C-alpha cells in the first residue's frame, strides 16, 4: 500500500492526526518512535537546517531532496511544505512529480507570490484567486497516484480578511484539493469557524508565538479538524537544548552528565542499528567472518 | 594559478572578442577546452533540455543550474559564463544565486529582467519586471560577490515586450547600477546591433542564438560592431541531435551499428578526450607495486 493510501485511510478514521514537524531524519525517526501516525516536513525548519531564515530562499530541489530523506527514514506517511509550487502551473506540475517520486504522501501549496514568506510574518503578497485555482488544478492533474494528497493552503487571512480566506478554501476544494489549510487565523472564533465554514476536511497549523491563539489539540479535534501540524516544536526544543549544552561546556568545561546515559550503540539503535546488524549477520562471508558486534 | 574570473576580466579588457561556445554537460566542456576556445558558456535552455527533457520555460531550480555549472567549470578548466535566468526570485534570492555560482567556480553569470517563471529569450510571451526592481537585483548581485573579478552580466529581454528604445534605456540603467557586461537579448536587425555597443560604456554581449531572430554574423562582423563577448548557446547540442537520430535510425534499419563505426568517435578518442592520460599518470604516481601488477 502506498504511503499516500495509508494516509487516506488514516484520514477516513475518526481521530484527528497529529503531525509534529521534522527537518531531518533524526526528527522524523523520533516522531515515528513516539507513536505519531504522520510526519510533517517543515519548510521553516528545513530552511533553518540549511542555515537560512524562512524567506523563500530554498529551491524546490533542496526541499525535495530533504523530503526524500524523511520519507525513506520512516514507515509512517510524510507530508511536506511545498511553498508556492515554485512558479506557475508548469513549475507546479514538476513540483508535484518531484515530491511524489520521493515517496512523500502529500504536499501543501499556498497562494503567496513567490518568493514567499513564513505564514506568520507580515507583508505577505497574495496571488489572484483565479491563478491559485488554476495552479491547484494543475497539481491535482499532475499526480500519478490519485491518493497523493494535495493540501491547499491560503495565506490570504492577513491581507484580504477571514471571509476571503474561507472563500479561497472552498474554491480550492472545488478545484480538487483534498485538505484545506487556512493559515494564521487570528482569533479562537476564527479557528472554531474554519471546519464549519469549509465544505471539506481541514488542517490546523499550531505555531508558537504566531498570529493564532494557543489551542489545545483535544479542542482542535472536537472543533472538527482532521489534521494538526506542529511544525516548530522539535526545532525550538533543539535550539534550547543545544544552547544549554553548549553553554554548559563553555562554562563548566565538562559535558553535562545527562548526555552520558547511553552508550554509542544504544544511540545507534534509535537509528536502525538492530536491522543493520541483522543484515551484517545475514551476508557475513567466510573471509570476513567475525561480524563485529557493537556494544 | 590565475583565477578564472581574473582571466575573464583580462579577456574582456583585450582587443579581440571572446568566443564562448555553449555546452550542457562535461563532454561538451571537454570538447570546447580541447578545441582551444578561450571561454565556455553554460546554456540554461540546453541544461533544462539535458536534465529534464523539457523546453526552456523556467523549470530548473537555481541549485540544479549551479550544480551543472560547477561540473562544467571543473571539466573545462575555462572561464565559465553561466545562465542564471532571473536570479530566481527577489534580491535575496539573487544574492544567494551569485554566491552559489561563485562557489561553483563560475567566472560570470547573466541575470535577466523577466518575470519568473522566465521563458527562452527567443520565444514569444515574455513579461518583464519593472526597471527599478531589476536595478535592485543588479545592485544585490554586485554586492553579493566575494571575488571582485566575478563578472555580473545584466540581460534585458525588453525588445520583444517594450521595444528597442526601452531595451536600450534599461541596459543603460543596469550599466549605471553596476553591471559589468550588458546583454540586450534578441536584437532583430543590423541597425539595432550596431546601436547597442555604441550606446553603452561597458562591454556588450552578442548572443548568437539559433532562432534566426538575430542575424547570423561572423566573429569579424561581430567585432566590427563593437561586441566584446559572444555566446553560441546551442549549436553543439543542436549538432548532436541529428547525429544521435542517425545512429538510432541506422540501427533500426540494418539491425547493426557496424556501418557507423567510421562516423563516430573511436573508443580511443573518447578516452583521450576525457583525460585518460591524466588518470594513467595519477595511477603511476599513487598505485602500490602490487596494485599495478594485478591491474596491468
pLDDT (tens digit per residue) in B281-292: 998 899 888 888
Mean pLDDT of the B240-244 span = 96
Put simply, the chain B residues between 14 and 53 with a CB less than 8 A from any chain A CB are 52
Segment A131-151, tens digit of pLDDT: 999 999 999 999 999 999 999
Q: Distance (Å) from the C-alpha of residue B96 to the closest C-alpha of chain A?
A: 8
Q: ∠ at Cα A172 (A171, A178), nearest 5°?
A: 135
Q: What's the grid cell of residue B112?
A: 535577466
Whether A60 and B61 lie within 8 Å, measured CB to CB: yes
Q: What is the pLDDT of residue A133?
A: 97
Give A284 or A92, the one with higher predicted confidence.
A92
Q: What is the pLDDT of residue A289?
A: 57
Of residues A55, A59, A114, nearest to B61 (C-beta): A59
Q: Is the pLDDT of residue A291 over 70?
A: no
- Under CATH, domain A3-238 is a member of which superfamily? Phosphoenolpyruvate-binding domains (3.20.20.60)
The C-alpha atoms of residue B229 and residue B236 are separated, in whole angstroms, by 18
Q: What's the grid cell of residue A78?
A: 510524510
B-chain residues near A91 (CB < 8 A): 58-59, 117
Q: Is the pLDDT of residue B252 over 80?
A: yes
A78-92, B39-53, B114-128: the lowest-pLDDT one: B114-128
Residue A290: pLDDT band (50, 70, 90) is: low
Does the predicted TM-score (pTM) go above 0.80? Answer: yes
A-chain residues near B144 (CB < 8 A): none
Whether B64 and A90 lie within 8 Å, measured CB to CB: no
Whether A59 and B62 lie within 8 Å, measured CB to CB: yes
The C-alpha atoms of residue A216 and residue A218 are separated, in whole angstroms, by 5
Counting one residue from A and one from B, how many pairs have CB atoms under 8 Å apart? Answer: 43
Segment A180-220, tens digit of pLDDT: 999 999 999 999 999 999 999 999 999 999 999 999 999 99
The C-alpha atoms of residue B114 and residue B130 are separated, in whole angstroms, by 9
- Give the residue from A61, A92, A93, A96 with the most B CB atoms within 10 Å of its CB, the best one to mutate: A61
B21-25, B79-83, B208-212, B221-225: the lowest-pLDDT one: B208-212
Q: What is the pLDDT of residue A260?
A: 83
Number of H helices and E strands in chain B, helices first, is 14, 8
Mean pLDDT of the A248-262 span = 92
Which candidate, A208, A230, A199, places its Cα nearest to that of A217?
Answer: A230
- Give the residue from B58, B59, B98, B144 with the most A CB atoms within 10 Å of its CB, the best one to mutate: B59
Segment B34-49, tens digit of pLDDT: 999 999 999 999 999 9
Q: What is the pLDDT of residue A292?
A: 55
A-chain residues near B116 (CB < 8 A): 87, 114
> Where do the DSSP E strands lie in A6-148?
17-22, 39-41, 78-81, 106-110
Segment B57-112, tens digit of pLDDT: 999 999 999 999 999 999 999 999 999 999 999 999 999 999 999 999 999 999 99
Map out the domains of chain A as residue ranges. 3-238, 262-295
Of residues B57, B62, B116, nearest to A114 (C-beta): B116
Average pLDDT across chain B, whole number: 95
Q: What is the pLDDT of residue B1?
A: 85
- Ordered structural domains, chain B, with CATH: 4-233 (3.20.20.60), 241-295 (no CATH)
Share of chain A above pLDDT 70, in %: 97
Q: With an 8 Å Cβ cutoff, is B91 touching chain A?
A: no
Segment B13-35, tens digit of pLDDT: 999 999 999 999 999 999 999 99
Whether A57 and B92 lie within 8 Å, measured CB to CB: yes
Chain-centre distance of CA A173, in angstroms? 20
- Give the residue from A59, A87, A115 with the most B CB atoms within 10 Å of its CB, the best one to mutate: A59
Q: Distance (Å) from the C-alpha of residue B63 to the closest C-alpha of chain A?
A: 7
Edge-to-edge strand ranges of the sheet holding B181-184: B181-184, B151-156, B108-112, B80-83, B40-42, B18-23, B229-232, B205-207
Residue A295: pLDDT band (50, 70, 90) is: very low
Amino acid at each position: 500500500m502506498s504511503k499516500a493510501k495509508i494516509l487516506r485511510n488514516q484520514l477516513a478514521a475518526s481521530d484527528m492526526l497529529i503531525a509534529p514537524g521534522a527537518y531531518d531524519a533524526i526528527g522524523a525517526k523520533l516522531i515515528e518512535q513516539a507513536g505519531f501516525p504522520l510526519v510533517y516536513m517543515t519548510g521553516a525548519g528545513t530552511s533553518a537546517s540549511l542555515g537560512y531564515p524562512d524567506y523563500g530562499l530554498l529551491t524546490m530541489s533542496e526541499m525535495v531532496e530533504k523530503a526524500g530523506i524523511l520519507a525513506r527514514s520512516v514507515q509512517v506517511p510524510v507530508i511536506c511544505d511545498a511553498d508556492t509550487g515554485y512558479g506557475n502551473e508548469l513549475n507546479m506540475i514538476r513540483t508535484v512529480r518531484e515530491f511524489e517520486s520521493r515517496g512523500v504522501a502529500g504536499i501543501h501549496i499556498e497562494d503567496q507570490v513567490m518568493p514567499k514568506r513564513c505564514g506568520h510574518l507580515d507583508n505577505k503578497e497574495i496571488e489572484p484567486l483565479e491563478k491559485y485555482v488554476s495552479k491547484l488544478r494543475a497539481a491535482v492533474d499532475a499526480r500519478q497516484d490519485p491518493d497523493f494528497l494535495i493540501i491547499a493552503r491560503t495565506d490570504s487571512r492577513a491581507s484580504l480578511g477571514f471571509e476571503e480566506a474561507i472563500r479561497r478554501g472552498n474554491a480550492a476544494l472545488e478545484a480538487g484539493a483534498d485538505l484545506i489549510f487556512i493559515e494564521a487565523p487570528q482569533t479562537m472564533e476564527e479557528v472554531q469557524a474554519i471546519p464549519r465554514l469549509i465544505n471539506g476536511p481541514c488542517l490546523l497549523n499550531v505555531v508558537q508565538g504566531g498570529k493564532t491563539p494557543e489551542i489545545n489539540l483535544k479542542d482542535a479535534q472536537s472543533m472538527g479538524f482532521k489534521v494538526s501540524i506542529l511544525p516548530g516544536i522539535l526545532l525550538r526544543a533543539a535550539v534550547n537544548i543545544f544552547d544549554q549544552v553548549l553553554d554548559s561546556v563553555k562554562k563548566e568545561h565538562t559535558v553535562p552528565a545527562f548526555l552520558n546515559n547511553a552508550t554509542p550503540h544504544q544511540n545507534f539503535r534509535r537509528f536502525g542499528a538492530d536491522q543493520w546488524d541483522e543484515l551484517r549477520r545475514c551476508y557475513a562471508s567466510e573471509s570476513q567472518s567475525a561480524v563485529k558486534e557493537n556494544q | 594559478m590565475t583565477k578564472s574570473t581574473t582571466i575573464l576580466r583580462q579577456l574582456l579588457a583585450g582587443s579581440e572578442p571572446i568566443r564562448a561556445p555553449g555546452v550542457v554537460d562535461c563532454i561538451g566542456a571537454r570538447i570546447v577546452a580541447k578545441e582551444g576556445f578561450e571561454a565556455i558558456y553554460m546554456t540554461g535552455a540546453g541544461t533544462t533540455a539535458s536534465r529534464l527533457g523539457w523546453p526552456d520555460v523556467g523549470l530548473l531550480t537555481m541549485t540544479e543550474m549551479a550544480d551543472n555549472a560547477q561540473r562544467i567549470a571543473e571539466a573545462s578548466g575555462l572561464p565559465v559564463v553561466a545562465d542564471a535566468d532571473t536570479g530566481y526570485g527577489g534580491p535575496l534570492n539573487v544574492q544567494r544565486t551569485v554566491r552559489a555560482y561563485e562557489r561553483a567556480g563560475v567566472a560570470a553569470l547573466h541575470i535577466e529582467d523577466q518575470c519568473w517563471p522566465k521563458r527562452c529569450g527567443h520565444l514569444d510571451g515574455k513579461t518583464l519586471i519593472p526597471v527599478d526592481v531589476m536595478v535592485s537585483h543588479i545592485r544585490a548581485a554586485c554586492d553579493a560577490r566575494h571575488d571582485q573579478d566575478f563578472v555580473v552580466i545584466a540581460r534585458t529581454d525588453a525588445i520583444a515586450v517594450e521595444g528597442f528604445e526601452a531595451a536600450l534605456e534599461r541596459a543603460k540603467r543596469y550599466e549605471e547600477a553596476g553591471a559589468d557586461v550588458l546583454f540586450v537579448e534578441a536584437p532583430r536587425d543590423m541597425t539595432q546591433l550596431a546601436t547597442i555597443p555604441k550606446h553603452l560604456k561597458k562591454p556588450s554581449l552578442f548572443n548568437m542564438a539559433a532562432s534566426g531572430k538575430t542575424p547570423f554574423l561572423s566573429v569579424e562582423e561581430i567585432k566590427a560592431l563593437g561586441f566584446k563577448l559572444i555566446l553560441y548557446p546551442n549549436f553543439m547540442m543542436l549538432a548532436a541531435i541529428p547525429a544521435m537520430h542517425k545512429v538510432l535510425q541506422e540501427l533500426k534499419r540494418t539491425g547493426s551499428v557496424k556501418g557507423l563505426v567510421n562516423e563516430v568517435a573511436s573508443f580511443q578518442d573518447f578516452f583521450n578526450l576525457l583525460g585518460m592520460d591524466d588518470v594513467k599518470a595519477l595511477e603511476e604516481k599513487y598505485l602500490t607495486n602490487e596494485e599495478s601488477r594485478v591491474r596491468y
